[in-house]
Amino acid sequence: MLRLMTFAALAVIAAAAAHANDWRVDDAERVVAISDIHGAYGAMVSTLQNVGILGDELAWVGGTSRLVVVGDILDRGPRSRDVMDLLMRLEGEAQAAGGFVHVLIGNHESMNMTGDLRYVSKAEYAAFAPDETAEQRERWFQAWVRRQPSPRNTPELRKRFDGKFPPGFFALRAAFGPDGQYGAWLLDKPAIAVIDGTAFVHGGLPPVVAELGLDGLNSKLQSQLRAYVGAIYTLMEAEILLPVDDQYDYLPIVERHMPRLDESREVLAAIDTIRQLDEGSLVATGGPLWYRSNVACSGIIELHRIEDALEAIGAERVVVGHTPTPGRKVLQRFGGRLVEIDTGMLNFYYNGSGNALVLTDDDIDVHNQSGAAPYDPIPHPRSVGERPHDMPPEELATLLRTGEVLSRTSDRETGRTVVEIGDGDHIIRALFNRRQGKGFYPDIAAYRLDRLLSLDMVPVTVRREVNGRDGSVQFYPRKIMDEGERAAEGRGYSAQCPLPDQYNAMYLFDVLVFNEGRSMQRMLYDTRRWALMLVEHNRAFSTRKGRPRHLEGAPIEFTDGWRDALSALGDDVLREQLGDVLNERRIRALAERRDELLAAGG
């Protein structure tokens, strides 16, 4: 018995060592990272050939390099299976040469294993058609028919079945099961790898990463995913669930199921697993496979979370995929702490190309599949409202300040004055607000303060005369919706930066500037990402202390991001940046409210 226990203990140690090699590595000579292949086999091959990972015969020529695939091999594109087969072969070839292939789980890998097949293309099903037997299709057809209401027209049902579940559907489901060729392979992959102080993860680093650490997060996610996938396939074998069932239907089906007296322990345990892990697991939308807030939320909301997570996993920066980058180039945020490498490799869907991030001792650059000259990661653009050709804020400010005023209209319902400004190449809209008093330009003050705080909610605003009247013009995007419209239509809950986080930041900003004029019409949304924009601050920057009346009882969370930002907002900074748009009394009151927030937040 002792010898058996010792053997088991050694097996656990050996497995842990193998996993450590998968997700924590030091002293790598060269790291190449790609992301979000989505079945774009040709683009992936060209990208890896251009960085010396693949040779002309598609063999590993990368030597001791480490290739990191940051999730989302699958879905939408035609050749996902070819991508997986190539990566599986390269794993062995790389290790034989002293290198390594790190394949990380993305949300689309998880989706294929758990039965969310919304994005599987016809070509992906067709790749599995040769593996599918007539007996396999007939079994699941008969099981599906038994669920249909009577009377049952078998020929018509057959036609519907074949239309909804094309050849290859059931072979694909089997291949992504816990014992399938690809399911078994993927279930052994981690969510996060840390190589020489750089973390790689598909979606991002949510707060749970700081709670669990690297080993805890990877172990727990793998355990939950294995348990969940195992439970699904156990219930399929019992025909309680069917391969045709969507993941979002599992829980209702399980809840309706009446266990038989002779139901096996395995089936009962699988039912409990579905109940426990259906929405509450790390595989769900708040986990690292889906998390977009690192990319989408402003610095004051998100940077402290990233820093906490990086400290917990022993990393200095993080590389993410999942969210296609503006301009389809590799980007960086927060002084390089975050690098975004989803450049839309599947061109016909995302209009992008393959880009590989290459890290060596002290260098980081990007190589495109075209073989063009390498480039450094580009700073992530500040984007408050959709601008023509993703115009940088400095260029937008110049256009607002110097472009020709082409039209001016007044909206009686909202009281807004909207102007159109053009420079011969672009025409944009802006809100004109007259100066509110001598030396008092509240919208300019709000915009500058937004930039100082890294809030990224106030559109670009500059001083300008319109028709001889002194005031400010504030960028007013065309594709917008206000809070009243959003709430009435029930939209925006898929915001890349969650709405509660955005609201909390707005509340704190309005307390800081003592804004008594916030209304639903002054809360605008960029409907592409549901990013909140704050406009028209003519009732802000009072000389009063405390909170505006409408925020006195509001539940506001004072975060580390706000603590850091307000602590850096010294009196000298306020006077230097706002002295020409706020008078001394208003600046002093702003500083006092800053101090009140810091004191209340501890």
Question: Which residue in 480, 580, 579, 488 sits closest to 532, CA to CA?
Answer: 480
**Helix (H) or strand (E) run with residue 366 in it:** strand 364-368
Assigned domain for 35 exists:
yes
**Integer Cα distance of 474 and 396 in angstroms:** 10
What's 328's domain CATH number?
3.60.21.10
Assigned domain for 7 exists:
no
Angle at 46 between CA 40 and CA 51, to 5 degrees: 125
Q: For the sheet containing 427-434, what is the strand order?
A: 404-411, 416-422, 427-434, 469-475, 461-466
Assigned domain for 454 exists:
yes
pLDDT of residue 414 exceeding 90, the answer is no
Taking residues 319-338, what's their average pLDDT?
A: 97
Do 450 and 430 fall within a single domain? Answer: yes
**Integer Cα distance of 41 and 243 in angstroms:** 27
List pLDDT tens digits, range 272-308: 999 999 877 888 888 999 999 999 999 999 999 999 9
Q: What pLDDT is stored for residue 13 in this prediction?
A: 39
Q: What pLDDT is stored for residue 413 in this prediction?
A: 81
Domain boundary among 379, 409, 426: 379
Assigned domain for 356 exists:
yes
**Phi, then psi, of 466 in degrees rounded to 5:** -130, 120
Do 445 and 567 fall within a single domain? Answer: yes
List pLDDT tens digits, range 348-404: 999 999 999 999 988 999 999 999 999 999 999 988 988 887 889 999 999 999 999
Do 70 and 151 fall within a single domain? Answer: no
- Show Cβ contacts of residue 143 under 8 Å, excluding neighbours closer than 6 positions: 239, 242
- Model's pTM, two decimal places? 0.93
Q: What pLDDT is stored for residue 602 in this prediction?
A: 64
Block residue for tokens 């599949």? 369
**Integer Cα distance of 392 and 410 in angstroms:** 28
The parent domain of residue 354 ranges over: 23-129+167-379
Assigned domain for 3 exists:
no
pLDDT of residue 167 exceeding 50, the answer is yes
Partnered with residue 203 across adjacent β-strands are: none
Do 157 and 303 fall within a single domain? Answer: no
Q: What pLDDT is stored for residue 285 in this prediction?
A: 84
Do 235 and 310 fall within a single domain? Answer: yes
Assigned domain for 9 exists:
no
Q: What pLDDT is stored for residue 278 in this prediction?
A: 83
Q: How confident is the model at residue 14 (pLDDT cuts 50, 70, 90)?
A: very low
Q: Give me the chain's average pLDDT, please.
A: 94
List pLDDT tens digits, range 481-493: 999 999 999 999 9
SS3 for 485-546, per residue?
A: HHHHHCCCCCCCCCHHHHHHHHHHHHHHCCCCCCCHHHEEEECCCCEEEECCCCCCCCCCCC
pLDDT of residue 3 exceeding 90, the answer is no
Do 362 and 478 fall within a single domain? Answer: no
Overall domain count for the chain? 3
Domain boundary among 165, 188, 209: 165
List pLDDT tens digits, range 455-473: 999 999 999 999 999 999 9
Angle at 393 between CA 391 and CA 394, to 5 degrees: 105
Q: What pLDDT is stored for residue 362 in this prediction?
A: 82
Taking residues 567-578, what's their average pLDDT?
A: 97
Helical H segments across 548-583, by residue range:
560-567, 571-578
Assigned domain for 10 exists:
no
pLDDT of residue 8 exceeding 90, the answer is no
Where would I find the beta strands (DSSP E) of 253-316? none
Do 318 and 183 fall within a single domain? Answer: yes
Q: What pLDDT is stored for residue 21 in this prediction?
A: 56
**Integer Cα distance of 346 and 38 in angstroms:** 6
Residue type, 236: M
Assigned domain for 8 exists:
no
List pLDDT tens digits, range 45-80: 999 999 999 999 999 999 999 999 999 999 999 999
Do 296 and 425 fall within a single domain? Answer: no
Do 191 and 83 fall within a single domain? Answer: yes
Domain boundary among 325, 359, 379: 379
**Integer Cα distance of 275 and 269 in angstroms:** 10
Do 138 and 271 fall within a single domain? Answer: no
Do 121 and 147 fall within a single domain? Answer: no
**Integer Cα distance of 110 and 203 in angstroms:** 12
Do 408 and 527 fall within a single domain? Answer: yes
**Integer Cα distance of 112 and 115 in angstroms:** 5
**Integer Cα distance of 155 and 160 in angstroms:** 9
